[in-house]
Structure 1
């Protein structure tokens, strides 16, 4: 009986110290946040095992599972913080900016880059830090071919559900990865799912970031096929448009329709006299901090 009491007492003390240690590591607004490393990530989903072995996933969930219509939320933030949040360029110039989120992806980013090169068009890629680290050669290709690069966090969390410490870690960790590959820290930042709150916008402004939204959504993440994707864009595009597309996503998504749609989108807009520019060119800000 005495031995049993000693065991219970030892277990209680161990649990108490474990709780105290955990609390200590989560103080200061999450500044000590340390998500699992790429090497520790375990992918157990069924699918292309070779792809899953080196493709960091979206911790916030698939775009199709998380994205909800928020028709005015980013417009409110843009109105409140006009020097930080940008949703489009000048309506006086026939310029448009193609943007691609959630890469680099070994399956779809090269397809997109090939089409852009074919049409001699420059675009802007918002990269996930963990994927840029895993696919350095594709990241380098994006940069070397003259496309602009923005920060799309390291693990793609749903930021409004996190604290400011998480945003700080995601931002700076991705900056370091991109800096190591391209030689600069990106000024442009796009939040996963386009979701932000006031406190986060203020922090990003203090960190000398420009928050980039969009005013044309291709809805390519719904995987509806190239014709529907191109129609979504061409039916809504105008002078100064920032067009949202994806060259990566959840492991189960087939985004080949994105690259296929670009031929029609680019050809039609060029015929209408539109000039394709990067986001830094569209809004007149530097690509680097």
Structure 2
């Protein structure tokens, strides 16, 4: 009698487990079907002339757990910056996009007028600032942030980096990074060497600090002494205009009144010619 009861009890347990397993499988099937319906999975297209390729790995689902705060790279920074052997000279992308850059500032005599002109045409630009200039003009960096401009690192004292030691180069860059982070709201993602003088240490230290090296394609020559006339600056910018071009100008380091006047002249002409004045974006992970 006891043996029959045990057998009967075992059959009940086995049957119950089977029912639960079937229900769980059905629930799982419903979840997978719902997710698949919302986000259909596509296979990779086969290469021309070859057979079908294996499916590409799916990207992590947005529903999966994310790392807790303090783990993994910050969301607003690239996970890793590649050490380059030469600076970026122009931007890639579709359409007639150009980048305007201004070095050596901010200078309260000229930078506000440049910001006002850019704001009037709803245009974004890049400002490669020197820490020694920015330390007393943090409000201008905040204004750049509010207007959507990109602020890059142009060292603290604008030295010739190729004549400095690694520790001196790092000090120039790191100190400026900290100031930009404080005044602009986030550390810089771009760096430009003063005088366009790059070396291996410059690329390595810049990458270590999370910055990409950006040079230029067209030099407005507004840095010459004496500076060229407004018409000459306008002519150099408009003649050099082309998709992907990076224009070099200055908002400090001397008399930049001609640079301010030239911007008011060539900016509407570039826009009327179909150019999209924009800023580069880093790829985030």
Same fold by TM-score, threshold 0.5 exceeded? Answer: yes
How far is 1:101 from its partner? Answer: 0.3
Corresponding residue for 1:68? none
Asked if structure 2 preserves the Cα contact closer than 8 Å seen for 1:97 and 1:240, the reply is yes
Which residue does 1:266 correspond to in 2? 267
Moved more, 213-222 or 174-183: 174-183
Structure 1 counterpart of 2:133: 131
Q: Is 1:242 the equivalent of 2:243?
A: no
Distance in 1 between residues matched to 2:159 and 2:116, nearest whole Å: 29
Structure of higher CA gyration radius: 2
- 2:21: which partner in 1? none
Superposed CA RMSD = 1.9
Which secondary structure state, in structure 2, belongs to the residue aligned with residue 279 of structure 1?
coil
Post-superposition Cα deviations, 1:59-115, rounded to whole Å, max 9, x if no partner, equal xxxxxxxxxxxxxxxxxxxxx936x73110126421001000000101110111111
Q: Which runs of 5+ in 2 are unaligned?
A: 1-82
Paired with 1:125 and 1:134, the residues of 2 have a C-alpha distance of: 16
| Residue 186 of structure 2: aligned partner | 184
Q: Distance in 2 between matches of 1:264 and 1:119?
A: 12
Secondary structure in 2 matching 1:87: coil
1:212 and 1:127 map into 2 onto residues whose CA distance is: 13
Distance, in Å, in 2 between the alignment partners of 1:285 and 1:102 is 26
Unaligned runs of 5+ in 1: 1-79
Aligned-partner Cα distance in 2 for 1:233–1:153: 26
- 8 Å CA contact 2:96–2:244 kept in 1: the answer is yes
Equivalent pairs, count = 201
TM normalised by structure 1 equals 0.66
Q: What CA distance in whole angstroms lies between the structure 2 residues aligned with 1:218 and 1:171?
A: 25
Alignment-derived partner of residue 202 in structure 2: 200
Q: Distance in 1 between matches of 2:91 and 2:182?
A: 30
Q: Using the TM superposition, give the Cα deviation of residue 285 of structure 1 relative to its aligned residue in structure 2, in angstroms.
A: 4.2
Aligned partner of residue 126 in structure 1, secondary structure? strand
2:115 to 113, 116, 119: 113
How far apart, CA to CA, are the structure 1 residues paired with 2:241 and 2:196? Answer: 19
- The corresponding residue for 2:165 is 163
Q: Which residue of 1 aligns with 2:236?
A: 232
Q: Following the alignment from structure 1 to structure 2, what is the Cα–Cα distance between the partners of residues 269 and 135?
A: 30
Partner of 2:24: none
Where does 1:36-47 land on structure 2 (aligned, <5 Å)?
none
Q: What does the per-residue CA deviation read over 1:255-274, in whole Å, with 9 as the maximum and x for residues that have no partner?
A: 10111111222112111211
> What is the match of residue 104 of structure 1?
106
More helix by share: 1
SS at match of 2:223: helix
Give the equivalent residue in structure 2 for 1:215: 217
Does the 8 Å CA contact 2:88/2:215 hold for their aligned counterparts?
yes
Partner in structure 2 of residue 276 of structure 1: 277
Mapped partners of 1:153, 1:126: distance in 2 = 9
SS in 1 for 2:240: coil
